Amino acid sequence: MEETIVRSEPFKEIVVMEHTRFPTPDDLARFANIAAGGKTTGIYWADGVAFIYYPLPTTTEIAAKAVIEEKKVYWAFVSYVLMPEYRPLIETKEKIIVPVINMSTSPLFQKVAKWLKKQR
């Protein structure tokens, strides 16, 4: 019987095509709610940055090839806000409640947060 091999191959590159920084966590929560069509959505948090991202689908041959061969993924859009302290929920004055997922243990999300902090 053949032995199963399990290994990790992290992405080498994330290409962010568009990014928007919001002034407050409430603004990001409102945007996330609208972008999700009023359905519950989550926001990721790492290293003092809360963000949501929209990956380009890998349904095209070119995109799939980039992921598999180059370990490159494309994010069409990232919306973010500087939020130094993690909190599990953002609740706006309109009573929109958005969960915040602490991804601080992910090296990938830490790198994205570090990059976002440098953007203007």
Is residue 3 assigned to a domain?
A: no
Whether 92 is covered by a domain: the verdict is yes
Query: Is 6 part of a structural domain of the chain?
Result: no
Say how many domains are in the chain: 1
Beta strands in the chain (DSSP E): 13-16, 19-21, 43-46, 49-55, 72-82, 89-91, 97-102
Per-residue pLDDT of the chain (120 residues; tens, 9 = 90+): 889 999 988 889 999 999 999 999 999 999 998 876 767 678 999 999 999 999 887 777 777 788 888 888 889 999 999 999 999 999 999 998 999 999 999 999 999 999 999 997
In whole angstroms, what is the distance from residue 106 CA to residue 82 CA? 18
Whether 7 is in a domain gets the answer no
pTM assigned to the model: 0.86
The tokens of 65 are what? 């090839």
Distance, in Å, from the CA atom of 38 to the CA atom of 57, rounded to the nearest integer, reads 22
Please report whether residue 5 resides in a domain.
Answer: no
CA distance 100 to 44: 6
Domain hosting residue 29, numbered range: 13-118
